Chain A
Amino acid sequence: MRRCAYVQPRLRAHMDGELTPGERLAVDDHLAECGRCREQRETLLRAVVSVRSLPVEEPPDHFGVNLHVRLASLRARKPRGWRAWVSRLRPALPARVPGRLGWAGAAAVVAGLFLATVLMSQKPGFPEISRWAGDSWVRVHDYSCLMVTTGIYQGRSREFKQKTWFARPGLYRFETEQDYPLVTVVDGTSIRHFIRGGDWQGRGPLLIVRPRTSSGDALPFPFGLTWPASPNLTVDALIRQISTTRDAQVIGTDTVLDHRCYRVRFDDVPPGGRQAERCTVWIAEDTRLPLRVERYRDEENHTVTTAADLDVNDRLQPSDLFDLRPPQGALVIHGDVDPHVFALKPSRAADFDSDPVGSARREIAWRAESVPFAAFAPQVVPEGYRLVRVRRSPGRWLDAYWMDDRRSPARVMRLQEQSGEVEDPPEVRGGDEVNLGSESLPVAGRVRQGRLPYPYCYVAWRQKDTLLTLSTAELGLEETLRVARSMRWVNPDDPRGTQEFVGPPLPERSSSAEERVATGEPAGAPRADAPPTTSSCEPSMVPETAEDEPHAPRAGGH
């Protein structure tokens, strides 16, 4: 009889019937005689039974949909075309037409296939497509694509490219080299721009940290480039728009990036916009995600954005994709700063540093004639701040930046001026009302503060026919309001403006808390002495050029 040491390693295989006949006989003989090995076999058997009694786990409900979305991304990369179409059709066709059927039989086969194709290609209506798009989007947990936007903006031909990444819940990364290498990362509280080649008076590269104050709709993902009449458009916003818009039509099918797509068209005022535009969206039949958006406002303003190199739910994204840390020696700047302000390196006059009030007044006056509203400049600038830059978009907006870079991070104050007909900026919506004038000459404003990613303030108000928005970083509400109250009209004919002040009396340095009163004056009511308004353009979402062309004061750069 075999010994226990021979038998015990074979007990499992004995149970499974995987022993040779000779081995099985030997084990059987041993077990008949050895109680200890029989007990061991029982123990093993109970363990095996306990494993086999575990319930079968079913894949979760979302498994199939998620896999479908990810497979569609892979399928998009496969070579297609008529050859692939023919090869797909081939299995359905007989290898050769049977001789006795002849041509009539062949024609019948072709007709049958055609009929089957027609019957199988019943087009879904807009409600179904809209619902599919929504269902598909909620199952996307990460996403990356290259966005390519081409079109006409303000009558000029443009093209933009941007690589974007997205991960729920609300992490974004954008990379572009359109005007210069720029990386932007957006998280729950901040928008960070890293300008690799940027410098400020020998200090750089630059990392700009802006509060994420406005809604996600203002973030340029992934179709959010280039639109003069509305905020940037995210997939979230687009899907919401598709689900709520009325009178949308499915106008046919088309192929985008080898994906068969439904084309959906509707006329609508985009989220946050003021003017209706015609929107055509290509929604992929397989992934049910938008792949292309065409926005048509008029002959001089229309763009098409297409998502290329699309990866959906691909867990291979680098873990540090959304972790933008400043490299050694980088200058960190806090403030609501458009990256172009520092990246495009404007020339600065000598008195920008020594006279931040006077130089700003002069620079604003120089640009005041090209905007259709009264321009203003502050009489007070906080200590240590120097003028960085003044910009304008002819006919549309004007802004100015001051910075205190004596410490790190540097802090930026920004003044933005637009037509008074424009709605309050989203940064102050839901904020407190504040009187920026006096009791006898009230000026209604709205102020909003935040604490993350650092303490910041926004205050917006209307003077004459102008909407002014002042934003500060780590300056405090009182000091911010002191600057706002010092704002005075700039007469383009008299840049020094010593006798042309029209605004309320210059405030004294005092707390503003007791002055927070609601005013009866309707917001935006123009004064009798206001210059005539000729335009109601909102800030553009297009990167400016070196010639100070339009740029997005609120959005995240490109």
Chain B
Amino acid sequence: MGADEELVRRFQRGDEQAFDELVERHRGRVYNLACRLVGMPEADDLAQEVFLAAYRALPGFRVESTFSTWIYRITVHICSHHLRKRRLLTTELEEYHLDGCVDHDPVNQVLRGELQDRVRGAIDALPYKLRVVLVLRDMQGLSYEEIAAVVGCPIGTVRSRLHYATARLAGNLKQYVEQAA
């Protein structure tokens, strides 16, 4: 049994501290995923929402999937709900302010570079379903099978969404990527 699953069982037996350990183990990844799905300013609150939802639901969690898959699924769902409310799901690149969710700290801007800002903007401009699979794959390092479990779709769907996501991203970034290359 993995460390996460052991912590889950401890929590289900009433050990509150086990949940704190789960938070500690996963907060970075959840925050990062939320950052890429909704943007940095709101990721903080939404990542907290994810753990609050997990806290409520964990007593009924049956460990049929891994805890990380489960918490990613909650994150994707909460971010989707949030974006739906904000009607940003279909925002296109040309409508999007490329620096819309970029850290405006000038030092950070210099350090991270314009290309990174463009990449963030291009990711944010993807339709939500494509953005999710791209981020889960390229930023969270999940396999296609794990992505399918998180998103709740067949592996073939993951493969085609990833193809479209990468192709759109490459098209949007072509000019900058080639300049940087």
Name A residues whose Cβ lies closer than 8 Å to a Cβ of B: 9-13, 16, 18, 43-44, 46-48, 50-60, 62-64, 66-67, 70-71, 74-75, 84, 87-88, 90-91, 313, 315
Contacts and interface: CB of A to CB of B under 8 A. Distances in A.
B34 to A, nearest CB: 9
A13 B159 contact: yes
29 contacts: A9-B163, A10-B159, A12-B163, A16-B162, A18-B144, A47-B170, A47-B173, A48-B166, A50-B119, A50-B173, A51-B119, A51-B134, A51-B138, A51-B139, A52-B138, A52-B139, A54-B139, A55-B112, A57-B35, A62-B44, A67-B23, A67-B48, A70-B48, A70-B52, A71-B55, A74-B55, A75-B16, A88-B16, A315-B45
Interface string B168-181: 01100110011011
Contact of A47 (B15, B137, B166): B166
A87 B13 contact: yes
Interface string B1-40: 0000000001001111001000100011001100100001
A47 B169 contact: yes
B177 A46 contact: yes
Contacts of A44: 166-167, 170
B27 A59 contact: yes
A359 B116 CA distance: 77
B51 interface: yes
A12 B56 contact: no
A84 B16 CA distance: 10
A495 B137 CA distance: 88
Contacts of B35: 57
Contact of A63 (B44, B119, B143, B162): B44
Contacts of B143: 18
Nearest to A83: B14
B79 interface: no
Given A47-B177, A84-B14, A91-B13, 6 more contacts: A43-B177, A51-B138, A59-B28, A74-B56, A88-B14, A90-B13
A46 to B, nearest CB: 5
Contacts of B178: 46
Identify whether the interface residues of B are mostly helix, strand, loop, or mixed: helix
B129 interface: no
B56 A16 contact: no
Identify whether the interface residues of A are mostly helix, strand, loop, or mixed: helix
A54 B119 contact: yes
A47 B177 CA distance: 7
Contacts of A63: 27, 31, 44, 47-48
Nearest to B123: A51
A313 B43 CA distance: 15
Contacts of A59: 27-28, 31, 44, 47
Contacts of B112: 55
B73 interface: no
B153 interface: no
B163 A315 contact: no
B43 A57 contact: yes
Contacts of B56: 74
B63 interface: no
B26 to A, nearest CB: 11
Contacts of A55: 112, 116
A11 B163 contact: yes
A315 to B, nearest CB: 6
Nearest to B119: A50
B91 interface: no
Q: Name the 6 nearest CB pairs between A and B, nearest first.
A: A87-B14, A47-B170, A59-B31, A51-B138, A46-B177, A12-B163
A436 B14 CA distance: 70
A75 B23 CA distance: 15
Contact of A56 (B32, B138, B162, B167): B32
Contacts of A88: 14-16
B159 A12 contact: yes
Given A44-B166, A47-B177, A63-B48, A16 B137 contact: yes
Contact of A315 (B49, B55, B116, B162): B49
B165 to A, nearest CB: 8
A63 B43 CA distance: 10
Nearest to A89: B14
Contacts of A50: 115, 119, 173, 177, 180
B160 interface: yes
A48 B165 CA distance: 10
A48 B115 CA distance: 13
A250 B52 CA distance: 32
B138 A91 contact: no
Contact of B31 (A43, A46, A57): A57
A9 B144 CA distance: 15
Contact of B181 (A46, A52, A74, A84): A46
A557 B120 CA distance: 52
Contacts of B116: 53-55
Contacts of A56: 28, 32
Given A18-B144, A51-B123, A91-B10, A74 B169 contact: no
A182 B165 CA distance: 55
A405 B89 CA distance: 52
A174 B173 CA distance: 52
Contacts of A11: 163
B52 A51 contact: no
A143 to B, nearest CB: 15
A6 to B, nearest CB: 12
Nearest to B173: A47
A193 B170 CA distance: 58
Nearest to B16: A75
B174 A43 contact: yes
Nearest to B118: A50
A84 to B, nearest CB: 6
A67 B51 contact: yes
A12 B180 CA distance: 21
